[in-house]
Amino acid sequence: MTRWLMAITIVFSVGAAGAFADEAPPTRFAIEAGKILTFDGSDTIINNGIVLVADGRIEKVGRRGEVEIPDGYKVIDHRNGWVTPGLVDCHNHIAGSLSDLNDGVYLTNPGLRTLDTVEPRNENLENALSGGVTTVLLIPGSGNNMSGFGTITKTFGNDVEEMVMRSPGSLKIAQAGNPERYWYRVGRRFMNWNLRQTLTKAQAYADAWARYEKGETPDDPGYDLVWNDLRGLFDHQYPVSVHTQIYQVYMTTITMLRDHFGLDVVTDHSTFDSYKLAQLIKERNMYAIVGPRQFHFDRYDRTINGCAARFAEQGVTRLGINTDAPVIAQEDLAYQATMACWYGWNDHYAAIKGLTRIPAESLGVIDRVGSLETGKDADIGLWTGSPVDPRSVCEMTMVDGKVAYDVNVKRRTR
């Protein structure tokens, strides 16, 4: 079966293209929208606008009357709703069958990867589409300090090749908050030492290859399956995504991974009292991705604090939201931002940006997703209103220009 026929098969199989059952699914769309949040570099918001989609890409975004709809485009009337980029989650465990990946063999497992576990069209991904989620970082668990490489995937696709955006997508590290239970209940001091010596070996391997490729040494370092993929980490081809929370652990993430090793760090979770280190995050221009816990009870001053709100009020702008799906259902990613707003993150626009552009930037895929701009992947959510308004629902989700979910064809019930 050709890839073209396979693409048709997947669209029909989810029921989203049922409205086009008498003809081949269209590849060109004109979305008429009441409000478009582009999240481009200028934070452009367009009222009464049009998004043109052609062959899987965004062709043009502009105001009605300024954008002409060419002949042959399927017009989608969404003039009473909002259009946003597809949502992006930096912390996902449901895009693959992680029962096939035992990441608890050693305290650090630098050679493991989630790529081999990616499971297209599973039930959790179908639900994710109903919540407007189009891109996720599938990472191993957090039962040890270094559980392996994550994979950035789309939530819609007929096969692994169609889904995967980049592998490695990140290196997953958990500095505490689960690995303490590994085997004989190791403490933080040993975990930090072991993680540091593992990364030191990886850095030495990467440096040896860099010197060899520059001609600074004639000695071929040799290929090592355990360390080879980590060369990209030190070349800043992908970040380290860190399960980190609580003041002490968060501080170690900053000082060890960012300051000592100079890595691109995305701090997943960023919960409990980690917001007390917001100034260090701001000074280093780091990304703080909050979730799934959205508030913290501070026993020192007996206050309840919104985690995202406390980061934001201290000037952290690279601020996003995650679910840790299936801890929180992937389709409830937008609702996590709603909760962050309820607990004091008063900038609702920034909260939606924390679901789209910010996580795309943090993973290094902003050139493809996270905003509605000409040439980018046509990953689009059509909402009844603001995604952070709990009364809003996603009525249609497009991934790579395909209608992956349509509430009027097949509503997901969960």
72 CB neighbour count, 10 Å cutoff: 10
Per-residue pLDDT of the chain (414 residues; tens, 9 = 90+): 333 333 433 343 444 443 443 456 778 999 999 999 999 999 999 999 999 999 999 999 999 999 999 999 999 999 999 999 999 999 999 999 867 777 778 899 988 899 999 999 999 999 999 999 999 999 998 888 999 999 999 999 999 999 999 999 999 999 988 888 877 788 899 999 999 999 999 999 999 999 999 999 999 999 999 999 999 999 999 999 999 999 999 999 999 999 999 999 999 999 999 999 999 999 999 999 999 999 999 999 999 999 999 999 999 999 999 999 999 999 999 999 999 999 999 999 999 999 999 999 999 999 999 999 999 999 999 999 999 999 999 999 999 999 999 999 887 765
Measured CA to CA, the distance from residue 103 to residue 408 in angstroms comes to 41
Q: What's the pLDDT at 229?
A: 92
Q: What residue ranges in 139-275 does DSSP mark as E strands?
A: 146-154, 164-174, 240-244, 265-269
Nearest to 225 by CA among 110, 115, 146: 110
Q: Do 87-369 and 1-85+371-414 fall under one CATH topology?
A: no
User: What is the structure's pLDDT at 20?
Assistant: 40
By residue count, the chain amounts to 414
**pLDDT the model gives residue 99:** 74
CATH 3.40.50.970 correct for 1-85+371-414: no
**Continuous segment of H or E residues that includes residue 248:** helix 247-252
Tell me which residue has tokens 């190791």: 186
Q: What is the DSSP letter of 24?
A: P
> Is 23 exposed, middle or buried (CB count within 10 Å of its CB: 0-12, 13-18, 19+)?
exposed
Assess contact for 273 and 303: CB atoms under 8 A: no
User: Cis ω on the peptide bond leading into residue 387 (within 30° of 0)?
Assistant: no
The pLDDT value given to residue 413: 64
Residues 121/123/129/130 CA torsion (nearest 10 deg) = 150
Yes or no: domain 87-369 corresponds to CATH 3.20.20.140: yes
CA distances from 96 to 125, 174, 225, 329, 400 (A): 9, 19, 22, 15, 20
**Predicted pLDDT at 376:** 98
Sequence-separated (6 or more) residues with CB below 8 Å from residue 259: 284
Lookup: tokens for 66: 């300024």
State the Cα–Cα distance between residues 329 and 319, nearest whole angstrom: 21
Q: What are phi and psi of 386, to 5 degrees?
A: -60, 135
- Concatenated DSSP letters of 356-395: THHHHHHHT-TTTSSS--TTSB--EEEESS-TTSTT--EE
Q: What ranges make up the beta strands (E) of 141-191?
A: 146-154, 164-174
Where do the structural domains in the chain lie, given as residue ranges?
A: 1-85+371-414, 87-369
pTM greater than 0.75 (yes/no): yes
List residues bridging with 296 in a β-sheet: 305
Q: Which two tokens stand for residue 7?
A: 């693409």
Half-sphere exposure (Cβ direction) of 353: Cα atoms closer than 13 Å: 22
Give dist(CA 168, CA 113) in Å, integer: 8
**E-strand spans in 55-163?**
57-63, 74-85, 87-92, 133-138, 146-154
Task: Give the C-alpha separation, 170 to 152, whole Å.
Answer: 8
pLDDT given at position 22: 45
269, two tokens: 């979770």
Distance CA(275)–CA(309), nearest Å, equals 9
Residue 200, φ and ψ in degrees, nearest 5: -65, -40
Q: In whole angstroms, what is the distance from residue 403 CA to residue 255 CA?
A: 44
